[in-house]
Amino acid sequence: MMAEKIIAGNQTGIQSLRGFSGRKMDLSMVMLTFAICFLLCLVALIYRDVRSIDLPPGIDGPFKLFLISITLHSSIRMGSILEKLRICATPTFLKWSSSAVPVWSEPRLFTIDTKFDTVTVRIYQPKGLSTGQRGIIYLYGGAGLLGSIRAYQMLCRYLSRESESVLLCVGQRLGPKHKCPAQIMDCITATEYFLKNASDYGVDPNRIVIAGDSTGGGIAPLVCQHLLTRKDLPKVRAQILLYPNIQTMDYNLPSYQQNQNVPILFKKLTAEFDLRFMNVKLAYLDQVLKGAHVSEEMKMKYGKWIHADNIPDEFKVRGYKPPPPVPFSKELHEMMKDSFEPKYCALLAEDDIVRQLPETYLLTCEYDVLRDDGLLYKKRLEDNGVPVTWHHAKDGFHGILSSVDWFFEWPCARVAAERVISFIKRF
């Protein structure tokens, strides 16, 4: 009797194990099927994106750029899927992936990671330099959403080493966790601290320049504008603006039309990042691209500064069509109104402010949606008597300097970088 119970118990246990094993196998199949479908959808989306990529004749290293673009599109699409699944926001994923770069040692530089008040910074100091050296304050790009001290280590080390300057890289708080203007305020805080304490790092406070690329290139003149009110601090010697992102009023300027699908920065992605930076819902993206956020009053007021008529004809030969009129959205205008303030957009500062700005170096790239932002700001500076040293990379695209000192460096990046170094060494 006892033996029968044991046998029956064993049979029940075996059946339970078989059932458990079957459920486990079913779950594994479901997960495998889901993973395959996910990958197929991702590949299909990336393929659709890649088909729209435009690589104009004359652009530097088109095949290499195409490969980089595939990687970028993969990251963007993965981030978009994760955001729709409510796992993390697209910028959060892109920020993580862009920072996943190795840390390289540089025997010719001392590197110091510290904080200026509450702002994380990294200082690069060339070895063997005496006191009274020049200083560079670097504000990196990334639309206030991406970028990091680590991601910009190669470019910052190159600038510090080759110009024999002490370089401060400012680590900004980033969105979506930290809303605008947190990024601008961090740059201002770190700059003020460095100007006050420059001698502690062997820097002559009268030999400091502020540099920035993309969004950082748009923040740099905002910092310079703010410093005009600080009579107690040394004056910045110069500002270096590298393909700056400097306005959100007109996404139909010639460069936005000509380069809307040119890597690595696309027209739609630019507007999307700008909306995220200004805390505006992406549901309004198409309206913003068409210009529905700009009133007729604003067009009249700022049209003298932001208009295709201010772009030289030589930059319209690849095509330009004036955009058709669109209905004005007062609701959208209210959401975007902060981006029309001079404290957020240096291009809209009044003439009496602009004419006080320091000497400027400006880099623009032919195949960059932001090319005309730089050209418009160049005209504003020159119209107000500010000396401008301008380099236009005729075969360049957005972000070229990020390849400097890497194995995939573009020739146009090396030329542009050497021009920047020559400018810095003048001070």
Question: Quick one: DSSP state of residue 404?
Answer: T
The answer to whether residue 398 is catalytic is yes
CB of 255 closer than 8 Å to CB of 230: no
The tokens describing 83, both together, are 């955001």
Order of all β-strands in the sheet with 109-116: 109-116, 119-126, 166-171, 133-139, 203-213, 238-242, 359-367, 388-397
Question: Quick one: DSSP state of residue 6?
Answer: H
The residue type of 275 is L
Reduce the secondary structure of 69-94 to three states and give it as a string: HHHHHHHHHHHHHHHHCCCCCHHHHH
Q: Is 4 left (phi over 0), alpha (psi -120 to 50) or beta?
A: alpha
Q: Is 164 left (phi over 0), alpha (psi -120 to 50) or beta?
A: left
Q: Which of 69, 97, 165, 214 is catalytic?
A: 214
Q: Residues 6 or more apart from 271 whose CB is under 8 A from it?
A: 248, 251, 285, 288, 289
Q: Which of 398, 402, 403, 405 is catalytic?
A: 398
Q: Which of 186, 213, 250, 368 is catalytic?
A: 368
CA–CA separation, 126 and 110 (whole Å): 6
The tokens describing 39, both together, are 């990958």
Q: State the Cα torsion 106-99-415-356 to the nearest 10°.
A: -100
Number of H helices, E strands in the chain: 14, 8
The answer to whether residue 368 is catalytic is yes
CA distances from 119 to 190, 218, 287, 304, 416 (A): 6, 19, 36, 37, 30
CA–CA separation, 359 and 141 (whole Å): 21
CA–CA separation, 110 and 124 (whole Å): 6
The answer to whether residue 339 is catalytic is no
Residues with catalytic function: 214, 368, 398
